[in-house]
Amino acid sequence: MKIKCVELREIRLPLVHFFETSFGRTTTRRIVLVRVEVDGLTGWGEVTCGEEPFYSHETPETAWHILRDFLIPSTLGKEWPSPSALAARFRPIRGHNMAKAALENALWDVEAQQKGLPLAKLVGGTREEIPCGVSIGIQNSVEELLDKIATELAAGYQRIKVKVKPGWDVDILARIREKFPRILLMADANSAYTLADLAHLKLFDRFNLMMVEQPLGWEDLLDHARLQREIATPVCLDESIHSADQARQAIEIGACKIINIKLGRVGGFTSAREVHDVCRARNVPVWCGGMLESGIGRAHNIAMSALPGFVLPGDVSASARYWTDDIIDPPVTVTPRGTIQVPQTPGLGYTPDLVRIEKATVRKERFE
Ligand code: OSB
Ligand code: MG
């Protein structure tokens, strides 16, 4: 695979509804897209970082810098036997997994087209449809949250994840359980607590949660292991897991019982499959996390979710929950039973809409 050209662009996409976590509220996404020309084919990737360095250190600006000054120069014009060879080339560069993933994943898109395989099949996916959940942010009132949950359940989604933080947690979960006693429910804290909150976190056990996601420090494993010994609710790690080694270590010390895999956070399909394999070999269920992706990142998430270890519903949901006009055609839709059909056509299975992408573009740079 010879990379003839790479194009970076930043698009702005307003969210249909603001998304609020323990680190703040997002109303418009800034997304860096990577387009590669390889052997006469075009592949797309998406940098999944947030606008601000709160979820991780990466931002659109750092990703642009790392891609332009390091990742693209080291790969352009060269022949790559596989996308995984590219991932190996990126390994000496520490961190910046989301920038790396965008370029590597674009190559997977190309390889799927070259081989005439659906991307899901190429990466080892076995599922034809994936179970879907939704992640619902912090709302202005608990009534609005309960309404949103009712709407998503009516649409068929199989599990509800709510964001929690100190002051928006136990009382909110109690109100949800009062109204929806039997639904699959989980809470994501995005590192809003510390072990000093142990007594408070123990109260989460009242609500029969499938899991509590990343309650403690964003780099921590040890305190999560301590917490997991003290609570019955399974701990799921998100922010703390960037590689298969960290996944193995987390499982070995009992820091979690479940892992959320995000393609960007772990650095692309090569690493994501390694994390998946580590978890599968140890009977640790995984699911696909979301980063408010545009259709391109969403299509990659769907492909990854087809891997056999992705047994729990992920945060991969319909385009219309995020965008009035997604940048792919067709948009991602969800069946009434809360699943997404994995595309069976070669490549991504969705076509990037160049007109909509161009309209949303605020800057562009081409490297040949
Ligand atoms: O922690 O899973 C998270 C969004 C942005 C940053 C972090 C997270 C999230 C979500 C949204 O939960 C998932 C989605 O709907 O894409
Ligand atoms: Mg999370």
**Is 38 domain-assigned?**
yes
Half-sphere exposure of 172 (CA within 13 A, CB side): 25
The number of folded domains in the chain is: 2
Q: Residue 18 falls within a domain, yes or no?
A: yes
The per-residue pLDDT for 23 is 84
What is the three-class DSSP state of 206?
helix
Cα(21) to ligand 2 centroid in Å equals: 9
Residue 27 has pLDDT above 90, yes or no: yes
C-beta of residue 187 within 8 angstroms of C-beta of residue 209: yes
pLDDT class of 233 with cuts at 50, 70, 90: very high
Residue nearest ligand 1's atom 13 by CA = 290
| Res. 161: pLDDT tops 90 | yes
Distance CA 67, CA 195 (A): 37
Q: Are residues 253 and 105 in the same domain?
A: no
In-domain check, residue 82: yes
Instruction: Tell me the CA–centroid distance for residue 73 and ligand 1, in Å.
Output: 31
Domain that holds residue 309: 121-341
d(CA 155, CA 146): 14
Q: Which of 133, 66, 177, 179 is nearest to 318 (CA)?
A: 133
| pTM across the whole model | 0.97
One domain for residues 160 and 243: yes
Which whole number is the average pLDDT over 223-240?
98
Cα 310 from Cα 280, distance rounded (Å): 9
Question: How many helices and strands (H and E) does the chain possess?
Answer: 14, 15
Q: What percent of the chain has pLDDT over 70?
A: 100
* Residue 163 is among the residues annotated as catalytic for this protein: yes
Locate 179 and state its tokens.
Answer: 């109204």
Please give the number of the atom of ligand 1 that sits closest to the Cα of 213: 1
| 41-63 average pLDDT score | 97
- Does 115 participate in catalysis according to the annotation? no
Q: What is the mean pLDDT of residues 230-236?
A: 98
Q: How confident is the model at residue 4 (pLDDT cuts 50, 70, 90)?
A: very high
Task: Yes or no: say if 309 and 281 are a contact pair by the CB < 8 Å rule.
Answer: no
What is the 118 CA–ligand 2 centroid distance (Å)? 28
* Ligand positioned closest to the Cα atom of 289: 1
CATH number of 78's domain: 3.30.390.10
Pick from 54, 291, 300 the residue to mutate for probing ligand 1's pocket: most ligand atoms within 8 Å of its CB.
291
Task: Identify the residue whose C-alpha is closest to ligand 1 atom 7.
Answer: 291
What does the pLDDT look like over 269-296, one tens digit per residue?
999 999 999 999 999 999 999 999 999 9
Same domain assignment for residues 222 and 282? yes
Same domain, 125 and 194: yes
Residues 151 and 174 placed together within one structural domain of the fold: yes
Please write the tens of the pLDDT for every residue from 306-353: 999 999 999 999 999 999 999 999 999 999 999 999 999 999 999 999
Task: Report yes or no on 42 lying in a domain.
Answer: yes
What phi, psi does 7 have (nearest 5°)?
Answer: -120, 130
Q: Ligand 1 pocket test: pick from 19, 29, 218, 323 the residue with the most ligand atoms within 8 Å of its Cβ.
A: 19
The full length of the chain comes to 368
Nearest alpha carbon, ligand 1 atom 6: 291
- Rounded distance, CA 334 to CA 337, Å? 8
Residue 346 lies in a domain: no
Task: Report the nearest-CA residue for atom 4 of ligand 1.
Answer: 291
Distance, first Cα to last Cα, the chain: 15
User: For position 221, which CATH number holds?
Assistant: 3.20.20.120
Catalytic residue among 100, 121, 161, 163: 163
Q: Is the pLDDT of residue 22 over 90?
A: no
Name all residues whose Cβ lies below 6 A of ligand 1: 50, 55, 135, 188, 190, 238, 289-292, 315
Distances (CA, A) of 264 to 49, 104, 123: 8, 10, 16
Residue 38: phi, psi to the nearest 5?
Answer: -135, 120
Clarify whether residues 311 and 171 are in a common domain.
Answer: yes
